[in-house]
Every structure is written in structure tokens, then in C-alpha cells.
Amino acid sequence: MRVAASPRTRPRPGPACALLALVLLAQLAFAGLPGDLPPAGGPASTGLSADGNCGRGYRRTGVECRRVTVPANGYLNDYGDGFQCERGFRQSGDGCLAVRVPEHGFLNESGTGVDCARGYVRSDTACVAVRIPPNGHLDSRGHDFSCARGYRRVGQACVAIAVPANAYLTSTGFAPGWECERGFRRAGEACAAVRVPPDAFLDGNGDQWTCNRGFRRSGEACVSVRIPPNAYLESSGAGWRCDRGFVRNGEVCQAVVPPANAHIGYGTSGWECDRGYREQAGRCVAR
């Protein structure tokens, strides 16, 4: 008796085959990324899609999608509705022109223009050396000059700063380039001493004076603050206030006499009505 041969079992695809299939699918999915052009045989225009948008490589014009023309040295932008020029080229109309890089220059960060090397500055289409005058040096940016200490810039030159007596050089190169020492103030191109009267002191800037506490300014002098009885020196030190229970009347403090149903307070009159009463014509009446 002949036994029938069993059919050959078909081998299952291994992991390698599955990985290859995923790679092929990914390549198909990512076809047409930035830089790719529409198919050469694609139509010059198409209709809008169902969602009202154009496909990549087309630009909406009215109710249709016009094919984007990408010039030489250009590529589709990220949105796919226009073009950008490659690095070293700049857009000019519908084309990409090469950026002319002069001697001592290099492409800028965007790749569409030129920056000059340190020590050079742009002049029309060239990079020319920075002219550094005597007593000057290249500044930190490298495209201009600064003057040495003791000199200030005047046009394209560095001019020595004339420092008068009782003055010192400042860190800035701007005019005049000097400041007066403490206790002096500027008077034209010189430094004049600040006259500090008795009972006064130089202020924080050192070019003005302030009266001591208990004195007030009167012209160019400091006069004592006269404090009447029942008063005290106020916080500024240049005036006085009446004690509680007294009100100012000219240069004296008068005792406050509260009316009936009132007590000493902090108002301008020096008294306030008791609870349940209100002020009326200098008296306290029931509410």
C-alpha cells in the first residue's frame, strides 16, 4: 500500500523580512520631503483638495493650485508652497543668485549675505581694513576703533583729554572725559571748590551740601530750627510738628480744647467726636 506524501510546509517569514518591509514602507511614506520637486510629468495646475489645501510642490492661486517653479540652486521650502535658495545664494525675483564674497569676508549665518572678518568693515561690496588712528585700538567687535585711556574720539581721531586741577579721568570716552573730585563741582572747563557753610555737610555726590539735622537751608547758609514749646523736630530734621493735643498756630503750638462729647485725636483740628456723635459747626452732635 502506497502512503501519500505529505505536502511541503511553506516557511514563515522571519524577523529580517518583516524589518525589510518596514523600511520599504517608511521610504514610501517619507517620499517628497523638503528639497524634493514635484514629478516632472506633474500637471502645471490642479484643483484644491477636499480640505481646501494644495499638495506639496503647489501654491494656491484663487481656486486652483499652481505648480511651484524651483530655480537652479533652490529647493522647496518647509511648507512646500514656495522655494528657498541654497546656502551661498540669495533670492532675486524668481531665481537664486550667487552671493559674491569679497576678500576678507565670509558668508553670514543665514548664508544669504556677507560679514567682514575682524579688523575689516563693509564698504559697498568690499571689506576694507579699519583705519586705526594714533592712540587708538580695535574695539571688542573688531569693526571699529576705540581710543586709549586719556583720549577721546573726535571724528576719526583720538584727541588727548585735558584734565583740569582737582579732577580725574573717567572710564568713558565721551566728552568731557573727566569728572571733578569730591568737594568740587564743574565750572566750565575747571573744577571749583564747593563752599560748605557751618552746620552742613557734603551730600552723596560730593558736589552739593545739605544742612545738619536741626538746621534748615536759608540762601547759602544753615540756620537753626526754632522749636516752640509742646513741639518736636520732624523726621526730615528741617522743621517741627506739634505734640499730640496741640495744633500749630503760626510759630507756636496751642493746646487743643475738645468740645463736649469729643476727645483728643489726630485730625487737623486736634480732636475727634466720640462714637455715636458727628462733627457739626465745631461741635459734636448725636447722629
One digit per residue, the tens of pLDDT, for the chain of length 287 reads 344 444 444 445 555 545 545 544 444 333 334 444 554 555 666 766 777 788 889 988 888 889 999 999 999 999 999 999 999 999 999 999 999 999 999 999 999 999 999 999 999 999 999 999 999 999 999 999 999 999 999 999 999 999 999 999 998 767 788 999 999 999 999 999 999 999 999 999 899 999 999 999 999 999 999 999 999 999 999 999 999 899 999 999 999 999 999 999 876 678 899 999 999 988 999 98
- pLDDT for residue 282: 87
The helix (H) or strand (E) run that includes residue 15 is helix 15-29
Q: Is residue 13 a part of any domain in this protein?
A: no
Q: Rounded to whole angstroms, how far apart are CA atoms 223 and 200?
A: 10
| Residue 22 located in a structural domain | no
The pLDDT score that the predictor gives to residue 175 is 79
Same-domain status, 218 and 180? no
For residue 27, being part of any structural domain is answered with no
With vertex at residue 123, the alpha carbon angle to CA 118 and CA 128, rounded to the nearest 5 degrees, is 45
Using CA atoms, how far apart are residues 80 and 59, in angstroms rounded to an integer?
A: 8
Clarify whether residues 49 and 88 are in a common domain. Answer: yes
Predicted pLDDT of residue 8:
46
> How far is it, in rounded angstroms, from Cα 177 to Cα 152?
7
| Nearest of 256, 257, 261, 258 to residue 284 by alpha carbon | 261
CATH number of the domain that residue 68 is part of: 2.10.25
Please check whether residue 199 lies inside any domain of the structure.
Answer: yes
Domain annotation covers residue 232: no
Task: Answer yes or no: do 212 and 174 share one domain.
Answer: no
Summarize the chain as % helix, strand, coil (round to 5): 5, 40, 55
Look at residue 138 and tell me if it is in a domain.
no
Name the residue with cell 484643483. Answer: 47
Amino acid (1-letter code) at residue 190:
A
| Domains: count for the chain | 3
pLDDT of residue 265: 83
Q: What is the pLDDT of residue 194?
A: 97
pLDDT number for residue 52: 77
pLDDT at 53: 83
Separation in Å, CA 97 to CA 71, 208, 283: 10, 65, 93
- With residue 85 as reference, give the H or E element that holds it: strand 83-85
Domain residues for the domain of 57 are 43-98
Q: Identify whether 170 is part of a domain.
A: yes
In a domain, 9, yes or no: no
Nearest residue to 137 (alpha-carbon basis) of 162, 161, 118: 118
